[in-house]
Structure 1
Amino acid sequence: MICGIDEAGKGSVFGPMVIGGVSGSSLADFEEKGFMDSKKLTPSKREAMYDDIVSSFQATSVVIEAHEIDDYRMHLSMNIIVAKAHARAIDNLGPDTAYVDACDVNEKRYGACVHEYLKRPLTVISEHKADDRYAVVGAASIVAKVTRDRLIERLSEEYGDIGSGYPSDPKTIGYLRDYIEKSGECPVFCRKSWKTALNMKKNIQQKSILEYY
């Protein structure tokens, strides 16, 4: 039994990070389905492949909310947070071999880190761009991306259009700026420990002080 593991939303300032995992009997099972890196697919194609994945294979997702990431970052690096979450997804699936998309510049070091947090020993194959190299990791990236997109959509339905949640998205940055200017605080779904949020809050507060004087 093998599995693939990948995450979505690692660098997002809004919303959760989601780790996707998919398991099956062999790499060929996923290759013949044509699964690939979610970033290469249109939203509609991702949704269709997601439905195929969850109906044909065992799939899991681990959701780490924004406030949890803030709490973890008080004593852990982001790479460790991701590695622990990857290990949780692997444990949920119980494979003999896990293929993971390496989050560290050192592939072997990241694989060893994930292995350290597993409940039982197994083979961990950690590589950069694994979502592009292995269809099983591509499938995991689809599970992670679709799951996270749906969660972001729910946040937008409740709080207004927050965009994609990434700092590169003008809609997300505009929402964050407007929210801080009006309330003086970041929204509850914001990663308050992110430099994007910290710097914006600091700049807005300084601007308000200068305008007062």
Structure 2
Amino acid sequence: MDLSGFEADNSVSCRLSSPVPEVCKTEDCCLGIDEAGRGPVLGPMVYGICFCPISKKEDMKNLKVADSKTLTEAQRDNLFLMLDGAKSFVGWALQILSPNTISTSMLQRAKYNLNALSHDAAIGLVQFALDCGVQVKEVFVDTVGPAEKYQDKLSKRFPGIEVTVRPKADSLFPIVSAASICAKVARDHAVKSWKFAENLGEVDTDYGSGYPGDPKTKSWLQKYLDPVFGYPQFVRFSWSTAQTLLDSKAVPVHWDDDEEDGAKGAARQNNTSMLSYLSRNKPDELTHSRDTHRFFTERKLQSISNL
């Protein structure tokens, strides 16, 4: 799977897709939706769709696709090659949500939780297929949140399309199993070949499954926690696992906000305000010369004197 479009800048989300088979533009089609990597604290979450003509459902079943979680990595890779090779009647598309996108979305002022992010990714992929000319008439989805509410939401968003939302849909409908395989293969490859934008030297890539309960993942998180700048963008810093480690092991910082004047809040905690650290008019104790930290240069951040 070619992920160069995402690897070019893995700090933002990316959409990848196969060519649309001509038959999918002329015949009624079914479309499956599933995701991979919802729970891990490391790496992206990937939403995938797979579609084919309704008349080709048996052909899809004959590819012997199955829920990606029941397959080995080698089996998933082989099945994806089969799906990608069936270009005459099968198409797919992916929405890769970077860890940075997930965390900044969840922590923005207007709360945007993981369910809403997932729903929007799924809706965006269905709309993408429609915009590409796919004659979608049936949609099968693995549920996120209450199945009935999700089904009603999708049915209203796409009138005229029969929507079926079921728990464990990836084990019930081959077209969802196919989407599950596409999503899982993409996530596995993205994690395995992750390019760290941060200058971390030789990075230990033995980070386990990426799930919070994995001892290898916990060990990796402790090893690569910077006490001032936190984690590389490979980590979903909005996850409670990462937050707990930051709270216990990182340098305490008071952020200015609307609820309390920053300087007063910092003084109360016997701490230095973050904005005073960044401002050009620094306190006397911070006026000595220093090079700009890579955290700011990598993100193209600059100091400002006023808003």
Q: Could you say which TM-score interval applies, normalised by the shorter chain?
A: 0.7 to 0.9
CA apart distance, 1:183 = 6.0
Cα separation, partners in 2 of 1:198 and 1:49, compared to 1, 3 Å:
same
CA apart distance, 1:11 = 1.1
CA apart distance, 1:188 = 1.4
1:64 aligns with 2:97: yes
Bigger relative contact order (CA 8 A; separation at least 6): 1
Instruction: Say which SS state the counterpart of residue 66 (structure 2) adopts.
Output: coil
Tell me the matched-pair count. Answer: 205
Q: TM-score, normalised by structure 1?
A: 0.88
1:203 aligns with 2:248: yes
Structure 2 segments unaligned to the other structure (5+ residues): 1-28, 131-135, 198-202, 253-307
| Poorly superposed stretches of 4+, deviation over 4 Å | 115-118, 181-184
Deviations 1:25-72 (A, max 9, x none): 123232222111001111111100001111211011101111111122
Partner of 1:107: 147
Partner of 2:301: none
**2:148 and 2:165 mapped to 1: Cα distance?**
6
CA apart distance, 1:189 = 1.4
Deviations 1:111-152 (A, max 9, x none): 22344555x752221110000101110111000000000000
Deviation larger for 83-92 or 44-53 = 83-92
**2:235 and 2:155 mapped to 1: Cα distance?**
30
Task: Check the 8 A contact 2:31/2:51 in 1, yes or no.
Answer: yes
Partner of 1:211: none
- 5 Å-filtered alignment, 1:130-149, equals 130-149=169-188
**2:149 and 2:196 mapped to 1: Cα distance?**
40
Percent identical residues: 28
Task: Check the 8 A contact 1:99/1:130 in 2, yes or no.
Answer: yes
Structure 1 segments unaligned to the other structure (5+ residues): 208-213
Over the aligned positions, Cα root-mean-square deviation in angstroms equals 2.2
Task: Check the 8 A contact 1:102/1:110 in 2, yes or no.
Answer: yes
- 5 Å-filtered alignment, 1:57-96, equals 57-73=90-106, 74=108, 75-94=111-130, 95-96=136-137
Cα separation, partners in 2 of 1:103 and 1:44, compared to 1, 3 Å:
same
